[in-house]
Amino acid sequence: MATREGSNPEVHNVWSPPPTREWRTNRVKKALGEGKCATTLYGVGTPEMVDFMGQFGFEGIWLEMEHSPPVLTLNDIGNMSRACDLWGISSVCRVPNDPWVIQRVLDAGADGVAVPHVRNKAEAEAVVRAAKYGPIGRRGDYVGRQGVGVADPRTKSNEQTSVILFIEEVEGIKNFDEILTVDNVDAYFIGAGDLSQDMGLAGQRYHPDVQKIVDECIAKCVAAGKVAGCLVNDDDVGDYIEKGARYFQMGWQSWVSRGAMGYLAKVAERMG
């Protein structure tokens, strides 16, 4: 092969120095792979919040790019995921089913993606294709932040990047059996809120008809050897564990609300 005068044919890529470290373990993926529960904390909007909440032992921090507050931008993902890295917590980013966005958040350092509104098998396959390098998928061939200094980063990324699918419409429920056949998915999150709206029961996530479908989907996941996920609170997380769900999302707001109201109630009581 002809080379430019003075060039070194052994140097093919200046972005690939000798490996210096191992890929960081994805705690969410590890816990689920071992049949344990994985908890992700919702509503964390700054690296400083990650710094504080990291001490408590959550497997993951939820990076939100769909709902508010807070809706993060692509520029936020790098620093938020770095803060997670410092505590050894996984960062899971909710993004639209768009290959460009999925690739960008993973390149920036997110450990996994959660994609809402997956309605059929083809949409589920598109998520996996965007999140994984070949031969599994077709993620753009670039070593993201998590792969810097790691030997064979593409293989490691395929092993460590988590993929979570949100099933939250009637169409997705109808196609759930087929969606469950898609490989390289870590959890199937049953979104009761959007599902209730699509069923004509907006705002009634705990309606018996909605909960019946959620329970049926969890049972299907368990029977298929797959992981079910859902939004939980202090009162119902134990019930969902008993039903077989293992991936959980919860916000910190209810804890603050209870503490704040309890404090103010004590002040009011003492003041008569």
- Which has the closest alpha carbon to 94: 122, 60, 137, 141? 60
Output the pLDDT for position 16. 61
167 forms beta bridges with 190
Q: Which two tokens stand for residue 247?
A: 């991936």
Confidence band of 159 (pLDDT split at 50, 70, 90): very high
CA–CA gap between residue 164 and residue 140 (Å, rounded):
20
Residues constituting the chain: 272
User: 12, 67, 117, 207: which is the annotated catalytic residue?
Assistant: 67
Output the pLDDT for position 18. 78
Higher pLDDT, 209 or 75: 209
Which CATH superfamily is 27-271 part of? Phosphoenolpyruvate-binding domains (3.20.20.60)
The domain limits of the chain are 27-271
| Mean predicted confidence (pLDDT) in 159-184 | 98
Q: Which two tokens stand for residue 61?
A: 């921090």
Output the pLDDT for position 14. 52
Contact 103, 130 (CB under 8 A): yes
Residue 12 falls in the annotated catalytic set? no
Confidence band of 17 (pLDDT split at 50, 70, 90): low
Contact 192, 252 (CB under 8 A): no
Q: What percent of the chain has pLDDT over 90?
A: 89
CA distances from 86 to 5, 50, 261 (A): 45, 9, 33
Q: What is the 3-state secondary structure (H, E, C) of 25-36?
A: CCHHHHHHHCCC
Average of per-residue pLDDT values in the chain: 93
User: Does residue 70 register a pLDDT over 60?
Assistant: yes
The conformation of residue 226, written as its DSSP 8-state character, comes to -
Q: What is the pTM (predicted TM-score) of this model?
A: 0.91
pLDDT tens, residue by residue, 106-118: 999 999 999 999 9
CA–CA gap between residue 146 and residue 160 (Å, rounded):
10
CA–CA gap between residue 144 and residue 147 (Å, rounded):
5
| Mean predicted confidence (pLDDT) in 183-201 | 98
pLDDT tens, residue by residue, 38-59: 999 999 999 999 999 999 999 9
